């Protein structure tokens, strides 16, 4: 089969391309993030029963299906003026918690770590960069061993999530009304067993490794800051009144403030849409116009009070007060560890609160008309679903994903998106191996791992880097 040429661009969810311009001293002067998540998924939901959305929206992205199911269920529940029982909320917390742990561990070990250590010298790890590896052979070996151990832990986290989530990866049990699971003593015992093993890994190996990284690459506390504004919609309900483990909020110029969904507006001045710019998602529309002058992406530019905000673990832990050391590439990794550890600890509380033999589901009468907003967090940041229902069918649906916040393009006022801003000003040591850019982009945990391809422009001073997913 030596003649096969593979060009498989079939995983469209989360394709992200980054182009940057460098000046004569090799500093980034401009950056463009191009996302291929065309928002037409939402238009497909129109005319369907609201309960379909929890299943279909999970399919948009394979990385955070659980959070999509929860956001969608919450939106329909709000339209029906319904809140699940505490049992339902706790089961959602446990399934979503398992997904966060699995995703955060995958991110650190399988996606981000190889920007800092050399993987095995074989496909798919080669060809790769050889630039700026600082660990000695012994430390590299320990990290690679934990890379393999993390695969096993991550798998156990998946299996743990499936206990109450039903089938994986696309869960079947999270629906408007709660969670269609009825925990048995055995299931609870199995869950606790998985959790104990996973928690030990997080609080020993993961903790040691992330700190090892932070020590060896302490200069990355000063790289990739961006605007420094953070946003979270809040996640993990701890009671039926809306209290959350990580509360909703904003951080603006270092000040922690409140959050209100009405302050979100999406701009499309530089996006391939002809629909009105500056609408709140509740009234927003998605009309594609590929090739529109001045546009370079399928992502819209969500802004909060017209300002660009970064979403993710760092936003959640800063607002909750768990991590406030700084905003940078390395702070994002440490915040992600801090949050993973906190989630694992709290899951142990939640699983002990779950009642044996009590269903997490309450029959929900689907709303004939109404509107609802479902806000939660995916591991990589704030996720919102906005639904309008008329004649018992979806009449409008809008989704703003975390990567829409982080990889958003320039808005109508000419302000670039958070990842773009974080890249600007970065010094690239070696044009052929722009590892600095990769580390910045990865620290945001965008939907998929990215690789950088260097395109040689005509001029001598300018280079063009294009980051595409693995």
Partner 1 sequence: MILNIKDTVIIGIGNILLQDDGVGVHVIKQLENEMLPSTIELVDGGTSTLDMLGFFLDFKKVIVVDCLRAGLKPGTIYKIKPEDIMNYKKENLSIHDVQILDVVKMANMMNKYPEVIIFGIEPEKIDLDLEMTQTMISKIPEIVLNIKKELKIK
Site residues, partner 1 (CB under 8 A): 1-2, 4-13, 38, 40-41, 43-44, 56, 58-63, 65, 102, 106, 110, 120, 122-125, 147-148, 151-152, 154-155, 158-159, 167-170, 190, 451, 469-470
Is the CB of 40 or the CB of 457 nearer to partner 1? 40
Reported for 158-164, long-range contacts at CB under 8 A and 24+ positions apart, including other chains, are 158/98, 158/102, 159/194, 160/98, 160/191, 160/194, 160/195, 160/198, 161/66, 161/94, 161/95, 161/98, 161/99, 161/102, 163/187, 163/190, 163/191, 163/194, 164/91, 164/94, 164/95, 164/191, 164/360
Q: Residue 292 phi/psi, 5° resolution? A: -55, 135
The minimum distance between CB 387 and partner 1, in angstroms, equals 17
The encoded tokens of residue 152 equal 């096993």
Q: Using CA atoms, how far apart are residues 172 and 161, in angstroms rounded to an integer?
A: 12
Q: How many CA atoms lie within 13 A of 111 on its CB side?
A: 25
Give SS3 for 383: strand
Give SS3 for 76: helix
The minimum distance between CB 470 and partner 1, in angstroms, equals 5
Give SS3 for 341: helix
The minimum distance between CB 322 and partner 1, in angstroms, equals 27
Is the CB of 87 or the CB of 99 nearer to partner 1? 99
Is the CB of 149 or the CB of 366 nearer to partner 1? 149
Is the CB of 125 or the CB of 242 nearer to partner 1? 125
The minimum distance between CB 249 and partner 1, in angstroms, equals 30
The minimum distance between CB 327 and partner 1, in angstroms, equals 28
The minimum distance between CB 124 and partner 1, in angstroms, equals 5
Is the CB of 114 or the CB of 179 nearer to partner 1? 114
> Which residues are bridge partners to 55 per DSSP?
none
Is the CB of 18 or the CB of 327 nearer to partner 1? 18
Spell out a b/e string for 227-242, using b for 16 or more CB atoms within 10 Å of the CB, else e. Answer: bbbbbbbbbbbbeeee
Give SS3 for 249: strand
Is the CB of 22 or the CB of 452 nearer to partner 1? 452
Is the CB of 48 or the CB of 134 nearer to partner 1? 48
The minimum distance between CB 436 and partner 1, in angstroms, equals 20
Q: Please report where in the chains the tokens 């929206």 appear, as a residue.
A: 57
The encoded tokens of residue 370 equal 């109404």
Is the CB of 1 or the CB of 241 nearer to partner 1? 1
> CA dihedral in degrees (118, 122, 124, 127; nearest 10)?
70
Strand 310-311 and strand 230-232: the pairing is: parallel
The minimum distance between CB 121 and partner 1, in angstroms, equals 11
CA 327, 429, 380, 189 torsion: positive or negative?
negative
Q: Of 21, 71, 68, 99, which is closest to residue 261 (Cα–Cα)?
A: 71
Beta carbons within 8 Å of 126's beta carbon, 6+ residues apart = 119
Beta carbons within 8 Å of 378's beta carbon, 6+ residues apart = 63, 64, 67, 68, 401, 402
Helix or strand (DSSP H, E) at 245: strand 244-246
Is the CB of 147 or the CB of 309 nearer to partner 1? 147
The minimum distance between CB 105 and partner 1, in angstroms, equals 12
Q: Residue 458 phi/psi, 5° resolution? A: -65, -45
The minimum distance between CB 299 and partner 1, in angstroms, equals 16
Is the CB of 53 or the CB of 416 nearer to partner 1? 53
The minimum distance between CB 276 and partner 1, in angstroms, equals 21
Is the CB of 68 or the CB of 270 nearer to partner 1? 68
The encoded tokens of residue 255 equal 């000040």
The minimum distance between CB 71 and partner 1, in angstroms, equals 16
């Amino acid at each position: 089969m030596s003649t096969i040429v593979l060009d498989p661009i079939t995983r469209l969810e989360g394709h992200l391309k980054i182009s940057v311009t460098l000046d004569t001293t090799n500093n980034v002067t401009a950056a463009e993030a191009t996302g291929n998540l065309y928002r037409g998924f939402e238009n497909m939901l129109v005319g369907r029963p609201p309960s379909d959305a929890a299943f279909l929206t999970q399919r948009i992205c394979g990385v955070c299906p659980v959070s999509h199911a929860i956001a969608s269920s919450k939106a329909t529940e709000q339209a029906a003026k319904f809140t699940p029982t505490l049992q339902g909320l706790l089961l959602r917390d446990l399934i979503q918690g398992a997904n966060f742990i699995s995703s955060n561990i995958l991110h650190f070990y399988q996606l981000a770590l190889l920007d800092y250590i050399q993987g095995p010298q074989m496909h798919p790890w080669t060809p790769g960069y050889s630039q700026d590896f600082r660990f000695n052979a012994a430390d590299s070996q320990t990290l690679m061993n934990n890379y393999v151990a993390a695969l096993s832990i991550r798998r156990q986290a998946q299996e743990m999530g499936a206990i109450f989530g039903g089938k994986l990866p696309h869960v079947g049990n999270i629906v408007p009304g709660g969670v269609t699971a009825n925990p048995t003593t055995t299931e609870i015992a199995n869950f606790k067993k998985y959790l104990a093993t996973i928690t030990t890994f997080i609080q020993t190996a993961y903790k040691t490794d992330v700190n090892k990284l932070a020590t060896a690459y302490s200069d990355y506390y000063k790289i990739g800051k961006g605007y420094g504004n953070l946003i979270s919609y809040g996640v993990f309900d701890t009671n039926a009144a809306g209290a959350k483990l990580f509360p909703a909020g904003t951080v603006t110029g270092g000040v922690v403030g409140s959050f209100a969904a009405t302050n979100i507006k999406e701009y499309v001045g530089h996006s391939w849409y002809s629909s009105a710019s500056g609408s709140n998602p509740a009234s927003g529309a998605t009309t594609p116009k590929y090739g529109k002058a001045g546009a370079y992406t399928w992502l819209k530019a969500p802004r909060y009070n017209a300002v660009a905000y970064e979403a993710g673990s760092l936003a959640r832990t800063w607002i909750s007060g768990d991590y406030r050391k700084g905003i940078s590439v390395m702070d994002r990794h440490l915040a992600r560890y801090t949050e993973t550890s906190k989630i694992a600890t709290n899951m142990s509380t939640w699983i002990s609160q779950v009642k044996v033999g009590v269903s997490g589901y309450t029959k929900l009468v689907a709303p004939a008309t109404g509107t609802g907003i479902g806000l939660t967090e995916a591991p990589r940041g704030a996720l919102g679903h906005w639904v309008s229902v008329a004649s018992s069918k979806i009449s409008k649906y809008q989704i703003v994903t975390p990567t829409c916040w982080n990889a958003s393009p320039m808005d109508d006022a000419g302000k670039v998106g958070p990842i773009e801003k974080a890249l600007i000003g970065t010094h690239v040591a070696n044009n052929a191996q722009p590892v600095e850019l990769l580390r910045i982009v990865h620290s945001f945990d965008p939907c998929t791992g990215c690789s950088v391809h260097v395109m040689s422009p005509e001029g001598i001073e300018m280079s063009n880097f294009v980051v595409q997913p693995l």
